[in-house]
């Protein structure tokens, strides 16, 4: 890795490198190195990993656990998740020895006001994602200075050119798996003997909320089953800067 030139934060006496400096330094780093640098840069109390506990999530969680299993993990329990996803979360917590998984739910007041009939996912999926994912995540990330996520360039669409580190509003956003290939993910699963998401064997290659997730056919993009038939490809947590 290249040396990281630090800068002094304008809001405190702490010294932090910029997103651009970190991205240059970590361009060819391994996922474990990226997580280690993030941990050193801001400290465990200010670093969170956001995980959907979806079909590929075990790999990033495994790498994180090998670095520090006490890094806080934020899980967005939207109220529309598959029971299999909730069970998989509990399985991975036990298997990997995760010490601080925080299940965050939407505000009941917001749900009662904006989605009383639980049909917003159909009439306005962007609004549904906003109240069930974007707003809860913004609330959960308030105490943190940086966060980790599992996006990969091979997933395509808006993810094809993601950097390893980016400026996400008031905090740094680390993408440790940006450079990782499908083959490398599979190798992590096999080498660590990680359990698979219960829905993976039945054709779900990417799992989100139940109403907006479908099976993926052979040859389709792995996220083709998300919001099928709509132009929508992201829930919004990766397209809206945090505050």
- 92 neighbors 57 (Cβ within 8 angstroms): yes
What is the rounded CA–CA span in Å between residue 149 and residue 50? 5
Binding-site residue positions for [4Fe-4S] cluster: 128-129, 209, 212
In this prediction, residue 209 carries a pLDDT of 94
In this prediction, residue 236 carries a pLDDT of 66
Token pair 């967005």: residue:
76
Token pair 């440790």: residue:
176
Catalytic residues: 235
Question: Counting runs of H as helices and runs of E as strands, what totals does the chain give?
Answer: 9, 8
Token pair 């029971």: residue:
83
Instruction: Decide if pLDDT at 15 tops 80.
Output: no
Instruction: Decide if pLDDT at 108 tops 60.
Output: yes
Instruction: Decide if pLDDT at 96 tops 60.
Output: yes
Tell which residue, 55, 31, 52, 42, has the closest CA to residue 6: 42
Mean pLDDT to the nearest integer, 148-154: 89
- For the entire predicted model, the pTM comes to 0.87
In this prediction, residue 14 carries a pLDDT of 54
Phi/psi of residue 116, nearest 5 degrees = -65, -30
- 216 neighbors 203 (Cβ within 8 angstroms): yes
In this prediction, residue 154 carries a pLDDT of 77
Instruction: Decide if pLDDT at 24 tops 70.
Output: yes
- Across the chain, what does the average pLDDT equal? 89
Mean pLDDT to the nearest integer, 146-161: 81
Specify the CATH number of the domain 7-212.
Answer: 3.40.50.620
Mean pLDDT to the nearest integer, 130-142: 96
- 236 neighbors 134 (Cβ within 8 angstroms): yes
- pLDDT tens, residue by residue, 167-177: 988 899 999 99
Q: Residue 4 burial by CB count (10 A; 0-12/13-18/19+): exposed, middle or buried?
A: middle
- 71 neighbors 47 (Cβ within 8 angstroms): yes
């Amino acid at each position: 890795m290249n040396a990281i030139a630090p800068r002094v934060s304008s809001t405190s006496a702490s010294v932090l490198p910029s997103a651009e400096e970190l991205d240059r330094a970590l361009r060819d780093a391994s996922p474990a190195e990226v997580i280690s640098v993030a941990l050193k840069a801001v400290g465990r109390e200010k670093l969170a990993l956001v995980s959907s506990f979806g079909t590929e999530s075990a790999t990033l969680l495994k790498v994180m656990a090998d670095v520090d299993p006490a890094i806080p993990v934020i899980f967005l329990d939207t109220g529309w998740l598959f029971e299999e996803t909730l069970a998989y979360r509990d399985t991975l917590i036990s298997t990997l020895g995760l010490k601080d998984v925080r299940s965050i739910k939407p505000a009941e007041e917001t749900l009662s006001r904006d989605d009383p009939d639980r049909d917003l996912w159909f009439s306005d999926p962007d609004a549904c994602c906003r109240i069930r994912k974007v707003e809860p995540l913004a609330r959960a990330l308030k105490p943190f200075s940086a966060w980790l996520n599992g996006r990969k360039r091979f997933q395509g669409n808006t993810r094809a050119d993601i950097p390893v580190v980016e400026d996400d509003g008031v905090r740094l956003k680390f993408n440790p798996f940006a450079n990782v290939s499908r083959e490398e993910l599979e190798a992590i699963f096999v080498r660590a003997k990680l359990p698979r998401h219960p829905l993976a064997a039945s054709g779900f290659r990417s799992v989100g909320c139940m109403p907006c997730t479908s099976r993926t056919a052979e040859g389709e993009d792995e996220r083709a089953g998300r919001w099928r038939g709509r132009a929508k490809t992201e829930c919004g947590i990766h397209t809206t800067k945090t505050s």
